[in-house]
Structure 1
Amino acid sequence: MSVSGGGGTESLDIMAKRGCDTPIIPDHEVLRMIGRGAFGEVWLARTVTGVYRAVKVIRREDFDNERDFEREFEAIRRYEPISRQHPGLVNVLQVGRDQKASFYYYVMEVADDLHHGEVIEPDTYVAHTFRSALQEGCKVRLDTVAEQGAQLAEALQHLHERNLIHRDVKLSNAIVVHGRAKLADIGLVAALGDRSFVGTEGYVPPEGAGTPAADIFSLGMVLYELATGKDRLDFPDVPSSLRENSQREIWRRINRVVCRACSRRAESRYPCAHDMAEALRGQEVPAKARWPLWAGVAAAVGIILAGVLGARRQAVLDNLSITTEPAGAEVFAGEQRLGVTPLVLEKRPVEGVTYEVMLSGFRNEVIDYSGKSDPRRIIHLVLEDTRFPQPGATWINSLGLEFKPTTTGHRLDLPVQADLFMAFSIEAKRQFEGEIVMQTIRGRPYPIPIVSAREAKAFAEWLQARDQAAGFIGTESTYRAETLQDETLNWPNRALDYDRSKVAISPFLIYVDRPSYGSLVIRSEPAGAEVFDGKGEYLGKTPYEVSRIRSGPVSFELRMAEHRPVYLSETVESNGLLELFARLETGVAVEMGKPWQNSLGRDLAPVGDFLVATTETPRIDYARFCKETGHDEPMEPLYPTPDMHPVHRVSREDAEAFCQWLTSVERNSGDLTARYEYRLPSDVEWSLAAGLPGEKGTTPAARNASIGGVFPWGYEWPPPEGVANLADLSLRRDYEAKHGISDPVIPGPSVILGYDDTFPGLAWVNELQPNRHGLYHVPGNVWEWVSDNFLGGVGTGTSGTIRGGGYTTSSERELLSTYRRSLASNAREDGVGFRYVLARAATPN
């Protein structure tokens, strides 16, 4: 069982092992621990009058030094009366300490029970936090999300107006008391301007905690998680659909608020938490910051003082000191390295400047200094140690490997040692492809694994999983292996001696790439087009704006009723703004799951998640393809065929070329976006179209004739009259007439005895009865190509697969729905044609 605490979650078993003694709290019966975090324990208690309370206990042993322990205690004492002045803050009712047991505590109102509301049963009590609600799958209406977010924003405004900041707004610190959202865990609340780094990964903005803007960013991330059900590290990804259509407008409002609140630039966020609350309630708010009156007064006082100070005093004021705990951190202004802390800058900058403070093993800190109007002369930072890689600083991972900073992240300083690679191969149960070579690097022997690109990639994935599990990186960082040619190595004795003839092997390095972000605006004419991402998930309507989106290639589809869809593909640059515009033309758009008629006038029917042509490809369509492309026409059939007979004597390569041509034609005309393509059906898709259930086996050969007694028309043999164009009595009659044979004993084509479909040869593509999907000639007429090779895989191969039988097929086995026949993929055989499907493109272009 897990419970929510002030600084995170921890199982009760783990808590018990830590040996947390039950504290003695005056006038309270302490019942049980209900949570534990980095800054203390939370206990459920009952007063002498029977009222349930939550008691947070902070122990001296959890702090590195006495100073920090006492500082937090004084902060809580100052905060106690403020907590009871606003309904959005959890009321602190009592503060005390036990000197002998070395802890202090504060008593708070208790959160509602997640399942029973204000009715609390001590043995089963689960605190109603935003985190616990999401973990247990409780659905929160979007209008509730907006109102609760507004309540929390108002609570932050109350703190900020009193020059206090929260510093750790997150899901587990937002609770529900008597049905109202409140901010809890006030142990981190500090005075405005305290820039020591605290908080929780993902909730802290790039510039760090310690400002009202940082609190607003954190609350935005909370609302993002609550509204979407996604993790904050997934931001700005959005859900594919809403739970209720009636909530769509509220979702747009929340989305706009979250995007602004979570902007990477502090000045782009809401100027105050009150404005964020107003926006959540649908009110218009100003676009620019409103400077508080006290800021102007302070500036005026500073000017007066500056005018009366002497020259000696002025010289001191011109200095700017930056100190850190611990000392020795590097200070940068852009690309310029200014020195290490403690650092004294002789001249304070006149204009605004951003300083970055870096120390290996600690989080990077950012100082936004506003220039001569900034009253600060000494800036002191308490650096927080971290396992996460920090930009510009050397990083040590969970295995002790040293990574050097690069422009995009970090790179392993030395090649992977053989022992580590061998450990990976054994643990991951991989077959080793390569060899080990000895090199002299930095004056000592160094065994280097020389492996295939596939094994290098697998090693990078394994190392990423280990570092994530150990808490050294987040889900946003990605590892990649980059193979190197010998001439690119910069190590001494770089002439590597290994056998290239065995397999394509090479040395490799490991890179850790950190994500970068930009902004996006999509507009359309007319406006109001629905925007979908590359996965088909609904994002919103144009004009669509995202203030924070991961850099790199992006693709979107714009859809609007009675208009042709538009596919947009571009690249978001790091820290850049990508603006996309599309003009939608009137027309009818293809939609998976609904019937469709393409530009050739052929009907396609929905089957599963694709559309399949209701007929085999007719000769008239193939003739147009050959004329427009110069492709070889099929050999003249044995019998003349009208235009609506199926084309046959085509290879699989011919059929694939036709599909590529038709895709290109309809993309160029605007009938298709790059999201869709025509292609041959896969073997499994053909089975679905034929009405088969799932079949055992991973290849067409393994699935061949796997289900006996099932035919495309049902379970009867011979087939009922007129269900398919097969080898029948009319074929025999035609043969006898053409060859002047009247004796039935003389050999001729094999036919199904007693069956007559009246077609001696090929039938038109839309003759006879369709199946339940509306598809004609699933059995018979011509054999049909599928994309799979007979022995598995796709693409060019010596042995392709055909399905369904043809007008000369009489074998009971060959007419089973599960029968496959092997045929060379480049063969052009009589009676072999194809039908195509329309599906999502594997790689949109």
Structure 2
Amino acid sequence: MPSTADNPKAPHVPNHEMVRSIGRGSYGEIWLARSLTGTWRAVKIVDRRTFESDKAFQREFEGMAKFEPISREDMGFVDILHVGRDEAGDFFYYVMELADDHLGEACIDPASYVPKTIKTELSRRSRLLADECITIGLSLTNALAVLHRQGLVHRDIKPANIIFVGGVPKIADIGLVAASGQDSYVGTEGYVPPEGPGSPQADIYSLGKVLYELAMGKDRMDFPAVNTDIDELPDKSTLLRLNEVLLRACANNCGDRYKTVEEMHEDLIHLRDGEPLSEHVRRRRPLIAALAGLLVLGTAGFYSAQHHNAYGGVLIETEPSGAWVVLDNAGVKSPADMPVSPAEFSKLPVGKHTAHIVRGGFEPEDVVFEIKEGEQAHPPVLHLHESHGTVQINSQPSGVDFEIKRGDTIVKTGKTPATVPNLLLGDYVLSLKMDTRVHVEPLKITRDEITTKDVEFPSGSISISCMQAGALVSLDGQPLGPLPIETMMVAEGEHEIVATYRGWPEQHRVINADHTAPVEVNFDFPTGSVKITSAPSGASVWQNGKEIDRTPCLLESLDPGPVKYELRFAGFKNLEVGGTVEPGKQQFLEARFAKRLGPRQGEPWENTLGMKFVPVGDLLVSVWPARVQDYEAFCTATSRQRPTPDFAQDPTHPVVKVSWEDATAFCDWLTKKELAAGRLESGQSYRLPTDKEWSAAAGMSDEGGNTPEERDGKLKDFPWGKQWPPPPGAGNFADFPSKRGAPAIAGYHDGFPQTSPVGSFPPNHLGLFDMSGNVWQWCLDSYKGGSTGARDWGVLRGGSWGTASPGELRSSYRNVVERAERDVIYGFRCVLVPEK
């Protein structure tokens, strides 16, 4: 079969784009097509290979040719717009108007279009109101009347072959139309009368079964059972009258059936208008009324004249029980009149009878039994067989995963194409999944029918890459994983692709996939940069505690997002600059330094009390011990009691009679005072020097050891060298006996009996005064290590005005006392920590 360029499997029909197959009918396949003007059409392809002979194929073509003009005579037929053959003679085709979409969509979506038929309506609505059924019946009987008058019959009237166009029901699959009496057997079980298809009365029987399914919401194999809930239905009265028409239309005996479809049309008009039915139907009603007190009707005519007053009974049993029992194909008014097995009947005329057994989900059965006078017949228990159906699942492309579920139970899984037999009757859900696409639709399995499901996944090819490794991507909200993705099949149409990479903003792309050309998508997540300049230039740039560059500088290959840098320049306050790096852009950051007001590492400093500091290593050390005037400012501000030594002091003398706690409290107060005054910056503070820092300030070499105890007495030198006694002007020591009886240094005179003004003697090489003599000075840490705990032994260094012992005046000597002690020889010196 020739094909089109776009779809290799599509047949070539002139002036039409064959889009996709939407169903299969008798002897052929139906395609969704678009004409040159853009109008959607249905095209049926009748394939020569489905016929046994050229004669049969030609006969079908002739039937179609004959029907083409007839199709436009009545609105109950699908209009045949054109009939043609392919050049090779492999098939003929006819172009038809297109059925409505089953979901009622105004615009046709070729990917999801499903024609609206009575079958799809039954799947969606279960049953139609009696008035709707009458309207549909009137349209279809009128169309069949036109067909029959031309000597043609349809041969396969069933729900799938009745479509809706503009809301009007129309007979389709007219490839089945043939001359009345044609001997080929075509039809679907349950819709074909006992005598077989091919006659006008057979079409009436088939139409009656279709209307039965529509009106009662039951399978045609359950006929003549009525709807279980008929007594509660709002259209019960009309439905029961319609049922009388259906009983006649579907009578097994041709003689009891409508002779012509016009008769059936007439009765439907009577029903619509609320008028009595025709005489033939009315003749049956007295019989029904006469037997209304019985559970079963219509036994007349099954016994001979000689037994017309003889009766017997019967017990009908089934496994399982609960099946409806209809005797001799009699009609009933409601389910309440319908006996269920086990069913016992009496007062039955002698002779042969037939019980029609119907139970939902099971095969209908007929039981023939004979009634004998005065006896009860007891046919064997009838074991009912569950009804089954089959579904054929096809997809384009093939190899698609499918799943059939009934409720929450998975009944079958597999890959297309697949034929799934032996499914119990009822409603299922069919799901097909291809890549990220899922197609879900209801599936109704009917008795002894092959239900065909054709699903097409129009696909296009896409590939996705990224300049950066590790980017993640999603398609239409579904994660696909890391890039690259070499080739992927997706549904035709628009798709959104979203790529993410570390801290970069998401990137969105909308692509249009189709089968004609692959789509390539490439993502790039460019870095950003930061340019930093400062005034003055040459500032060091710090980030996360590390120096990374000096201004002016350009920092490149940066991830997007917020950034923060600290700029440092000696003599100025540290500055913080920040911004947001954007992909592919440069962020400019600038800073102007302000002169630092607070102390700076490596530079001398004088505070608000007039205390002077000089650099020693990373610290600033007070050039003299804390003075009386300094400590008095502390006492005044904190209402603390002033020390009262037993000798006179002026404001420039070193304060005495202070404990370790007093000294640390002074440092804390001074820190807060200077911070509040804006003289210190955050992180700068005053404190006592550690033992090791005091040694450094005294100009001592490394003593080793980890604690003051381990370093104590290791070096034997004096601050002035190795000689003893001290040279003149070495410091304020004990140069004559004190009132306490302490000894004096023989031959040494400094001129001060107690404390002397700070700075009275020369400084050491670092510019520090009184590092030997005048007052002992507290250290921060304890003798055994650590700097906290009032009960720890404290450490004092440097000697005092009362020290005369050579051992105590050696530079490495530690005076070990309780930290809480106060004495006229104890003072302290402050250090300043200028950096965080």
Greater strand share, 1 or 2? 2
Greater helix share, 1 or 2? 1
Task: Say yes or no: TM over 0.5.
Answer: no
Structure 1 length as normaliser, TM-score? 0.37
Structure 2 length as normaliser, TM-score? 0.37
User: Looking at CA atoms only, which structure, 1 or 2, has the larger radius of gyration?
Assistant: 2
